[in-house]
């Protein structure tokens, strides 16, 4: 797979923390979500649109390639991190993408201090990494209902049958 140039709105942690502080200083609300986003499907698109509607800007934190491999196994990711960021940034709902190398987004959440932390309906509130931290600074944690009929696991299963 040929290398892609990094998209302009793919920011490092420090640059994203600065953008988040600037947004807050202007009275804006930052929404944050995270995931691997290795095979983007309509469920992801609807989820990201719903997340973006909750605030003024949406930051998507994506796991680095090494993190995806640790979490999902040696055959993953299917797409490298810059490709995954490029696809996400092609969606009008997504304002910024940041790659994080850790297995959880906790350090990134602490760096950008989002006003809203959003996860999909396959998570219970007590399972959401960063919930306590976001609530401690007055932020909101929200679970967006899962869109039935679309899942990365189902796509992987179907692709394996080809």
Phi, psi of 79 (to 5 degrees): -110, 140
Neighbouring C-beta atoms of residue 158, cutoff 10 Å:
9
Residue 11's pLDDT is: 95
| pLDDT at 144 (0 to 100) | 93
Which residue, chain included where needed, has tokens 């039935």?
A: 148
Q: Which two tokens stand for residue 145?
A: 């209902």
Is the CB of residue 81 less than 8 Å from the CB of residue 61? no
pLDDT at 124: 87
Task: Judge whether 143 and 131 are in contact, CB under 8 Å.
Answer: no
Write out the two tokens for 75: 């055959």
**154 vs 132, residue with greater confidence:** 132
Q: Which residues contact 111 (CB under 8 A, 6 or more apart)?
A: 13, 14, 16, 17
Q: How far is CA 18 from the centre of its chain?
A: 18
Q: Is the pTM of this model over 0.75?
A: yes
Cα(48)–Cα(94) distance, rounded to whole angstroms?
Answer: 7
CB 85 within 8 A of CB 7: yes
Q: Give a three-class secondary structure readout of 71-114.
A: HHCCCCCCCCHHHHHHHHHCCCCCCEEEEECCCCCHHHHHHHCC
Q: Does 13-160 carry CATH code 3.40.50.620?
A: yes
Q: Residue 162: pLDDT above 60?
A: no
Q: What pLDDT shows up at residue 157?
A: 65
- pLDDT value of position 117: 98
């Amino acid at each position: 797979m040929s290398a892609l140039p990094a998209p302009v709105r793919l920011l490092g942690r420090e640059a994203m923390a600065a953008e988040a502080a600037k947004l807050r200083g202007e009275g804006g609300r930052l929404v944050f979500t995270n995931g691997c986003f290795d095979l983007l499907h309509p469920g992801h698109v609807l989820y990201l649109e719903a997340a973006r509607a909750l605030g003024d800007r949406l930051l998507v934190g994506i796991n680095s390639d090494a993190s995806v491999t640790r979490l999902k196994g040696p055959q993953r990711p299917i797409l490298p991190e810059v490709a995954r960021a490029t696809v996400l940034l092609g969606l009008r709902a997504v304002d910024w993408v940041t790659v994080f190398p850790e297995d959880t987004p906790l350090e990134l959440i602490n760096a950008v201090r989002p006003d809203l932390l959003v996860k999909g309906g396959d998570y219970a509130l007590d399972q959401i990494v960063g919930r306590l931290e976001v609530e401690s600074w007055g932020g909101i944690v929200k679970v967006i209902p899962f869109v039935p009929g679309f899942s990365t696991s189902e796509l992987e299963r179907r692709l394996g049958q080809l």
